[in-house]
Structure 1
Amino acid sequence: MNKQNELADILLALKSFPNGASLEELNESLSTSIERRTLQRRLKKFKEDNLIYTEGGSHATRYFFKDTAASQSKIATTNDSSMSLPLSPEGKDVWALVSRPESQRKPVGYERDFLENYRPNIDSYLSKEEKQKLAELGKTRNEEQPAGTYAREILNRLLIDLSWNSSRLEGNTYSLLDTELLIHNGKTPANKSPMETQMILNHKEAIEFLVESSDEVGFNHYTFLNLHALLSNNLLPNPAASGRLRSFGVGITNSVFTPLGIPQLIEESFDLILEKASQIQNPFEQAFFVLVQLPYLQPFDDVNKRVSRLAANIPLNRHNLAPLSFMDVPEESYVKGMLGIYELNHIELFKDVFLWAYERSALRYAAIRQSLGEPDPFRLKYREEIRAIISQIVSNVMAKEAASEAIKFEVKKLPEPDRSRFTEVVETELLGLHEGNFVRYRIKPSEFSAWKKTWDS
């Protein structure tokens, strides 16, 4: 156990003794036994930092977690203001520790052991029972369909929900309706900053990239670097930093944690995260692993948590499980959960947030999916061919006549019974193509703009 985990373990154990604990009682309650003199030194430092107090003489000293009642009151109050997100006892303990003033929290650096000691499919952040519950919640009727089928069916809703919630967790002041008008109608509210608008649009493009490429994306450099490039587009002081790993040190606002600052070690740890994540078999464990480890490393100049939130959906989309859109997640709960990871390497509070958030998301999309009916099997069968011809028509700036000829040429490659239906589907898609949906065909904004002028003339 590293030193920071050891310190947190002592405080968490001591907090469970409302009547105080002797040195022996405390040591027995720790997850890993500590040498007596080391434990005494740790407790002495806690007392100096005003975190604990003692009673009794030198041979009968009892140690008390300071202000236990006040801490519990603080937890309860904050919980109520955070929409009553239920916390486990362990989550409440982490909340109390990271809620202390920064002056009372020990500055820490990146602990590589936290990543290196994790053994895929042997160790697990989620319990067997938690995985089973998540699997029941996330189950859809698309298990045997191609990767990403379910996400495509609810894409219009997912674009809005995930773009808004992920941006909201970064302090973006767009409302849900503002987000819908921007994504579906291209309308920008007058009272919003260009940075907020850019953040929403970047999410939209990144989500479409993940959903439309569900069978191609994964835990690899291509996916994560491009995901960062899309999410950070036009938002970083140095545009060249989009899609590149960090080459200098950074700090975390309102935290005593300092991320790794050596470029070579950042790259090595980044590769190790992707390697371990790709080996994890359970999709929910994969999702939670990347939500924990990627922000902890901070591999990019900025936008790390956004990348992790969208990347968590990669295994869910691949297995046609309900996506995670962070609906209703209180910003404070999310931030404190992250602080528990940054400063203590304790996942309990953030896991409480994750489990609650996924249940909210899964129930929401189950209701939405029921209202959509069954997907069109013809469109599903020919989705790649439909995407290819539409992309060809737009990228080549074809007018209606030229497009008609291109469709006639393409349709000859299909079986005779499917040709008429294919032509109808492609033409319907072309007529309904607008600035809120063209990215699904891997079309660039400049290409769409040029084509639309020709198409409408």
Structure 2
Amino acid sequence: MVRRIQEEDLQAIELAVALHSEGAMVQQIADALKNAPPRRTLQYRLKSLVDDGRLIMEGEGRAARYFVPQIVEAAGEATARAEAQAEGEALLPLSKEGEGIRAYVRKAVEARKPVGYNRAFLDSYRPNESFYLSAAERTHLREVGTPKIAEQPAGTYARQILNRLLIDLSWNSSRLEGNTYSLLDTKRLIDFGEEAEGKQRLEAQMILNHKDAIEFLIGEVDEIGFNRYTVLNLHALLANNLLADPQAAGSLRHIGVGIERSVFHPLEVPQQIEECFDQILATASAITDPFEQAFFVMVQIPYLQPFDDVNKRVSRLSANMPLIKSNLAPLSFEGVPRKAYTNAVLGIYELNKVELLKDVFIWAYERSADRYAAVQQSLGEPDPFRLRHREALREVIRAVIGGRMDKKRATAHLKGWTHEKIDEAEREQFRETAENELLSLHEGNFARYQVRPSEFAAWREAWNR
């Protein structure tokens, strides 16, 4: 007759194992027991505990170690927390749903279920009826993102902080792609055209592409929108000189692509890619809330992968379009941990769940809004005359720089140009404003006139003769 194992004997073994957080070997367990049974009996009881899930065994034979499951789980959680802290994710507060998504996408690729593109994820969204952001979240974002300025033409706020935005957004968006330029490296590159030593040329190209794309969005604020013209040209600017096929810049994808470290398989049929791309643009255009618009494209553009590459960059800059047009604080992604952003996008790819990306979006926008509120305060109130004539000033100053005019030629050009284009009552003030602007230009502030460093350097040489 087989003798039933007494529960107290099993509990004693569990307690003996628990004394060793790094795992207990058979002899260590025997030494810890008050009345240790014969070795074969102890092994039999250990097997019973393992079969019942009360202990975990790792290794075989004499090298086998036994663990209490709760200790293994706690160690795993501690490791995950340590990794998150090292990656900066611990700074970012997550919702319960966001934590669940992160836990899933942090599993080994082999432990995650392969998935394809789910058209229903896009089809089920109804603009102004479906919402990724709740009413309370949208209200909160508008409260923190509305600058304390009088009502002004679209893009005015972004123009006021353009120099800061060029550096912040170019650096942070590039950093999220693995670019190793520092913030100071980025500033030198944008302000002076100086590439950082020891860095790859493509990293400088990526940052300069961001600069061009941001200037496009702000410079063409009255023309941009969620349409093919804007998004295709945005991709062309961001992908300039970075793709193996130069014709792929600004063109929808005709090849299959894979996602590194993901079990998601994007669409491969060009006709379907084009249909979904047009549907994304039409849906985004119909959304009335700028924050919902911004977040919608951050979700759907990367999920579709409409381009050969540079999809997430397109989504991040596209997200800024409704914010720029509405004179809201832009989203520069300052401080967003790269791993947190990557995990959030993986949650979209593999689970069609937006909560983790929403946690990242709201936290990042709060930081951006605080930063640009401080920047605006340091800049003071804008000059209403300069604001009213901002396009005319940009046009005439770009002409002076592009024409490499010295002071004498510039004075003559300003006089003739002003006489032709400015009302008589404001001509003198306009000329004075333009002349002061030309005199105050230097390497750190010429970017707002959308001229390249080489153009500016050539003009300065002529100007200072």
TM-score interval, smaller chain? 0.7 to 0.9
Match of 1:59?
A: none
Quote how far apart the aligned CAs of 1:395 are.
4.1
Q: 1:391 aligns with which of 398, 404, 422?
A: 398
Match of 2:315?
A: 308
Fraction of identical pairs, as percent: 59
Matched, 1:80 2:88: no
Q: 1:177 aligns with which of 184, 190, 213?
A: 184
Amino acid at match of 2:343: K
Asked if the contact 1:143/1:320 (under 8 Å) is kept, the reply is: no
Aligned runs of 1:46-195 on 2, under 5 Å?
A: 73=78, 76-81=81-86, 82-142=89-149, 144-195=151-202
Amino acid at match of 2:426: D
Q: 2:435 aligns with which of 402, 422, 427?
A: 427
CA distance in 1 between partners of 2:322 and 2:75 (Å): 41
Q: 1:74 to 1:289 in 2, by over 3 A?
A: farther
Match of 1:333?
A: 340
Match of 2:256?
A: 249
Match of 1:18?
A: none
Q: Give SS of 2:91's match.
A: coil
CA distance in 2 between partners of 1:241 and 1:266 (Å): 14
Asked if the contact 1:236/1:242 (under 8 Å) is kept, the reply is: yes
Q: 1:439 to 1:155 in 2, by over 3 A?
A: closer
Q: 1:181 to 1:397 in 2, by over 3 A?
A: closer
Match of 2:378?
A: 371
CA distance in 1 between partners of 2:387 and 2:300 (Å): 35
Q: In the TM superposition, what whole-angstrom CA distance separates every residue of 1:96-120 from its partner, at most 9, and x where no partner exists?
A: 1111111111111111111111000
CA distance in 2 between partners of 1:89 and 1:428 (Å): 56
Q: Aligned residue pairs: how many?
A: 394
CA distance in 2 between partners of 1:153 and 1:404 (Å): 26
Quote how far apart the aligned CAs of 1:405 are.
2.1
Query: Which stretch shifts more, 362-371 or 432-441?
Result: 432-441
Amino acid at match of 2:384: P
Query: Which stretch shifts more, 212-221 or 156-165?
Result: 212-221
Q: 1:428 to 1:229 in 2, by over 3 A?
A: farther
Q: In the TM superposition, what whole-angstrom CA distance separates every residue of 1:155-181 from its partner, at most 9, and x where no partner exists?
A: 111111111111110111111111112
Q: 2:449 aligns with which of 441, 445, 451?
A: 441
Quote how far apart the aligned CAs of 1:77 are.
3.7
Q: Give SS of 1:367's match.
A: helix
Amino acid at match of 2:410: A
Q: In the TM superposition, what whole-angstrom CA distance separates every residue of 1:166-199 from its partner, at most 9, and x where no partner exists?
A: 1110111111111112112222221211111111
CA distance in 1 between partners of 2:252 and 2:355 (Å): 28
CA distance in 2 between partners of 1:156 and 1:447 (Å): 18
Quote how far apart the aligned CAs of 1:445 are.
6.6
Match of 1:269?
A: 276
Q: 1:83 to 1:89 in 2, by over 3 A?
A: closer
Q: In the TM superposition, what whole-angstrom CA distance separates every residue of 1:254-277 from its partner, at most 9, and x where no partner exists?
A: 111111111111111111111100
Amino acid at match of 1:385: A
Q: Give SS of 1:327's match.
A: coil
Q: Give SS of 1:146's match.
A: coil
Quote how far apart the aligned CAs of 1:287 are.
0.5
Amino acid at match of 1:316: L
Q: Give SS of 1:312's match.
A: helix
Asked if the contact 1:313/1:324 (under 8 Å) is kept, the reply is: yes
CA distance in 2 between partners of 1:358 and 1:349 (Å): 14
Q: 1:335 to 1:68 in 2, by over 3 A?
A: same
Amino acid at match of 2:335: D
Q: Give SS of 2:415's match.
A: helix
Q: 1:234 aligns with which of 228, 241, 244?
A: 241
With the length of structure 1 as denominator, give the TM-score of the two structures. Answer: 0.81
Match of 2:33?
A: none
Asked if the contact 1:83/1:330 (under 8 Å) is kept, the reply is: no
Q: 1:185 to 1:449 in 2, by over 3 A?
A: closer
Q: In the TM superposition, what whole-angstrom CA distance separates every residue of 1:278-330 from its partner, at most 9, and x where no partner exists?
A: 11011100100011101111111111111111111111111111111111101
Asked if the contact 1:163/1:204 (under 8 Å) is kept, the reply is: yes
CA distance in 2 between partners of 1:150 and 1:326 (Å): 18
Q: Which runs of 5+ in 1 are unaligned?
A: 1-52, 56-66
CA distance in 2 between partners of 1:78 and 1:275 (Å): 40
Amino acid at match of 1:312: A
Amino acid at match of 1:218: G
Quote how far apart the aligned CAs of 1:244 are.
1.2
Match of 2:409?
A: 402
Match of 1:210?
A: 217
Amino acid at match of 2:259: I
Amino acid at match of 2:203: E
Amino acid at match of 1:80: Q
Q: 1:251 to 1:132 in 2, by over 3 A?
A: same
Q: 1:263 to 1:146 in 2, by over 3 A?
A: same
CA distance in 2 between partners of 1:147 and 1:168 (Å): 28
CA distance in 1 between partners of 2:156 and 2:463 (Å): 30
CA distance in 1 between partners of 2:207 and 2:444 (Å): 12
Q: 1:284 to 1:70 in 2, by over 3 A?
A: farther
Q: Which runs of 5+ in 2 are unaligned?
A: 1-50, 54-71
CA distance in 2 between partners of 1:333 and 1:347 (Å): 13
Q: In the TM superposition, what whole-angstrom CA distance separates every residue of 1:327-350 from its partner, at most 9, and x where no partner exists?
A: 110111000000000011011111
Quote how far apart the aligned CAs of 1:84 are.
2.4
Aligned-CA RMSD value: 2.3
Amino acid at match of 1:322: A
Q: Give SS of 2:398's match.
A: helix
Asked if the contact 2:163/2:448 (under 8 Å) is kept, the reply is: no
Q: 1:382 aligns with which of 389, 401, 420?
A: 389
Q: 1:404 to 1:298 in 2, by over 3 A?
A: same
Asked if the contact 2:191/2:447 (under 8 Å) is kept, the reply is: no
Aligned runs of 1:289-308 on 2, under 5 Å?
A: 289-308=296-315
CA distance in 1 between partners of 2:80 and 2:343 (Å): 12
